[in-house]
Amino acid sequence: MVVKKTKEDLEDVSLLKFALVSQLKRTYESSDADVLLFAGADGRIYASYIPDSIGPKIFELTNLISHNLLHVSQQLAMGLKQSVIEYDFGTVIFSSVGRGALLISLFAGKADLSDDMHKIQVAREVIQHIFEQRPMTADQLSNYSEEVASELRILAKIVFNEMYTQSSEYKKNMEILADIKEKITGVMGRGEVEPTLAMAFNEIASSPKWMTEDLWPLLVEMIIRDQIRPLHGDYVADVCEAEWIPDIKHKLESFV
C-alpha cells in the first residue's frame, strides 16, 4: 500500500529538517567541528551543515565514513553510545541518537576534543529530542540539564522566528508559487495545477513556504520532465524549459 503524503506532512518534514540543520549549525559555530551530519544507520543523510569553506581533507574523511558506517552502526545498536576514530588527517566522532540514527562530527587535522566532546553531547541530546518530536513543555525540559534545556529553548525561538517573522522570504515564495501556477495553467489547465504541484513538492520533500532559491528551479525542471513532457510532448516541454526556468531564476534574483 502506498501512503500519500499530505501538505501538512510535508510542512512538518520541512520544519523538522530546518530545526535539525539549525542545531547542526549552532554546534558548528560553538565547536571546532568542520562538518556535522545527522544520518541514519543505513547511510541516509537526514540533515547536514557543511560550510562553504570546506577543505579537501574533509572529503577524505567523508569517504572513510561510508566504509566505517555499517561497522559503527552495528556497535551502536549493541549499546555503544559513542565512537571516536582518529586518522592521520582528522577525527570522526559517531554519536548514537536514539535507535538507528547518528550524529557524525568531522574534525580536519589535529584538534583538542576535550571541550568539543561536551558540546557534541549537548547537541546529541537536543537532536534526539527534535528527531523524536517530543513536546517542548516545562515537564519535558525538566528532564534535561540546564544547558540542554536552554539550547532547546533557543532552538524553539529560532524555529518560531523562521515560521512567523521572516515575512519577506515567505512573500517571495508565495509570489514564485503564484507565477508557477499560472505557467502550469497555461499548458495543462487550471484543474491540473494542484495535483501537479502536490506531486512535485512530494518528490522534493518540501512545501511552498520552505522553498529555497535552489529548490524552485529544481521543482520546475521536475514538473516539465515528469509531467509536461510525457503528456504534451517534447516541443511543448522544450519551450517551457527554455522560457520558464530562466524566468523563475530571474525573478528569484531580482526579488526585493
CB 245 within 8 A of CB 238: no
Distance, in Å, from the CA atom of 143 to the CA atom of 189, rounded to the nearest integer, reads: 54
Q: What is the predicted pLDDT for the residue at 230?
A: 94
Secondary structure of residue 35 in the 3-state scheme: strand
- Average pLDDT by consecutive 10-residue portion of the chain (256 residues)? 41 76 93 90 83 70 72 76 82 86 85 86 94 88 93 88 67 91 94 93 84 91 95 95 94 80
pLDDT of 56 reads: 67
* Residue that has been written with the C-alpha cell 503524503 in this structure: 5
Instruction: Determine the 3-state secondary structure of 119 from DSSP.
Output: helix
Measured in whole angstroms, the distance separating CA 17 from the mean position of its chain's CA atoms is 4
User: Would you call 166 helix, strand, or coil by DSSP?
Assistant: coil
Question: Helix/strand/coil (H, E, C) string of 197-256?
Answer: HHHHHHHHCCCHHHCCCCHHHHHHHHHHHHHHHHHHHHHHHHHHHHHHHHHHHHHHHHCC
Can you tell me the distance from the alpha carbon of 196 to that of 185, in angstroms, rounded to the nearest whole number? 10
pLDDT of residue 3: 38
Query: CA 162, CA 94: separation in Å to the nearest integer?
Result: 29
CATH number, span 7-164 = 3.30.450.30
pLDDT of residue 29: 92
Buried/exposed 169-178: b ≥16 CB within 10 Å, e otherwise: ebebbeebbe
**Is 23 exposed, middle or buried, given 0-12, 13-18 or 19+ CB atoms closer than 10 A?**
buried
Q: Which three cell numbers stand for residue 146?
A: 540546564
* Amino acid identity at 92: V
- pTM value? 0.60
What is the pLDDT at residue 8? Answer: 45
Rounded Cα–Cα distance for residues 177 and 242 (Å) = 19
pLDDT at 81: 84
Residues 184, 191: Cα–Cα separation, whole Å: 10
Tell me how far CA of residue 151 lies from CA of 19, 34, 175, in angstroms.
Answer: 12, 20, 34
Q: Are strands 82-87 and 90-96 parallel, antiparallel or unpaired?
A: antiparallel
Question: What residue ranges do the domains of the chain occupy?
Answer: 7-164, 167-254
- Element (DSSP H or E) covering residue 49: strand 45-49
* Residues 6 or more apart in contact with residue 50 via CB below 8 angstroms: 35, 58
pLDDT in the model for residue 211:
86
Unique residue bearing C-alpha cell 503528456 = 231
